[in-house]
Amino acid sequence: MANLIGCCSDDNERLLVAECMPNGTLAKHLFHWEKRPMKWEMRLKVALHTARALEYCDDKGFDLYHDLNPYRILFDKMGNPKLSCFGHMKNSQEGKNHGTLLPENVTFSFGTLLLDLMSGRHIPPNHALDLFQGKNYLVLMDSALDGQLSDEDRTELMYIASRCLKTEPEKRPSMKFLMATLSRLQKRAELWPINVKRLIPVSITRSIYIQL
């Protein structure tokens, strides 16, 4: 998580001072990229690091994280994704909590983040569930990811995202389960060829191929 360094208070002016995150938000790199779309391996890294941060908050008894979205995930100078410290629940002047959440609700929000990472755009959860039920998986996947992952990995990620979005909270997976699944997917992604080579026939009569 991005570190909260301190605070400043001057009469009615109050500021929180947080760790500098010079490489922008996930939303910038996922939705508004300029040079090239985010690679699959980095998207998995974001998902796994986010799951670890959420599990850490729960394990340490910190206030549950709310309003999870691509604008809440920032990149440090080394390109590592971190959760913004401003997503924690906080008390109002009246002493009431904003956005009281259960772990299952955090899992639902995490499912919407997985959708964003898979599709490269924001897809409303209700629409995504309709696509899941119709097994229209290709509609959910970012075409820029073609050749960067196997059909097996794509199907597995679709499955866990659909479970996160279950209408019955008790049917949603735990963050520990999500961490284990994403860790396995990341290991497989590291072994997947960075550049998928295509074999193109250069002769009809001879088995001669070139690699692109």
Active site residues: 67
Please choose, from the candidates 93, 86, 94, the residue with its C-alpha nearest in 3D space to the C-alpha of residue 63: 86
Over its C-alpha atoms, the chain yields an Rg (Å, rounded) of 20
- Count CA within 13 A, CB hemisphere, residue 187: 5
Alpha-carbon distance of 159 to 140, in angstroms, equals 12
Of 161, 149, 146, 156, nearest to 189 by C-alpha is 149
Whole-angstrom distance, CA of residue 78 vs CA of residue 201: 42
Give the CA distances from residue 169 to residues 59, 107, 127, 159, 172, in Å, rounded to whole numbers and listed in that order: 19, 9, 18, 16, 6
